[in-house]
Amino acid sequence: MNSSPNNTGPDQPDGPDGRDPRLMTEAELDRWVHHAMADEAAATPPGLSQQIAARALEQVQSTPEQSGGRAEVRSTGRSWVWPVLWPSAASVAVSALMGFFAGTGQLPVPLGTDLLNAIPPGYVAPNAGVDPWADTDLLAGLGGGFGFDAGLSFDPTMDGGDE
C-alpha cells in the first residue's frame, strides 16, 4: 500500500465511488459515515420496534422494583425530608432563642450569678445543719413560720373553725 497522500500512482487506493479517502474533507468523511449508519439503522426489521416496546413494558410490569419505580421516586422524594427537617428546624429555633437572650443580657428567669450575688457575705442559713425530718415539732414550727410570718396576720380564733 502506498501511504503518501500526494501519490497519484496506479496503486493509489480509491474509494468505491472513485474518491481517495486520504484526500477527502472532514465533511465528506462524515457524510460517508452518516450514509453507512443511516442505511444500517433503516435495515431494522419491520415489527421489531413493536416487539421491543411490548417487552419493555412487560418487563416493567413484571419487575416489582421497576413497576413501583415511579411511585417510589415521587414518595421517597418527600419521605426523607420531614424527619430531617423537623429536628433541624427545632434545633435552629432553640439556638435562635438562646442567642436572643444572650444578646440582650437578660434571661427569662433570675438564674445564675445574680442570685448568688444577692446573698450577703457571712450569711448562715437559720436551719443550717438541722435535719428537718428529725423532729416533727420542728416541722410544725417551720410550718407555722414558713409562710404566715411573711407579713400576713394569722389568728386561728378568727377562722371560727374550732368553735
81-104 and 69-79 helices, crossing angle to 10°: 10
Q: Are 13 and 6 in contact (CB under 8 A)?
A: no
Is 34 an interacting residue with respect to another protein (CB under 8 A)?
A: yes
Q: Least distance (Å) from another protein to the CB of residue 30? A: 4
Least CB distance to another protein at residue 82 (A): 22
Chain centre to alpha carbon of residue 29: 53
Binding mask 63-102 for another protein (x = CB under 8 A): ---x--xx--xx----------------------------
Rounded distance between C-alpha atoms, residue 113 and residue 30, angstroms: 85
Helix and strand numbers, DSSP H then E, in the chain: 8, 0
- Judged by the rule CB under 8 A, the positions of this chain that interact with another protein are 1-3, 11, 13-17, 20-22, 24, 26, 29-44, 48-50, 52-53, 55-57, 59-60, 66, 69-70, 73-74
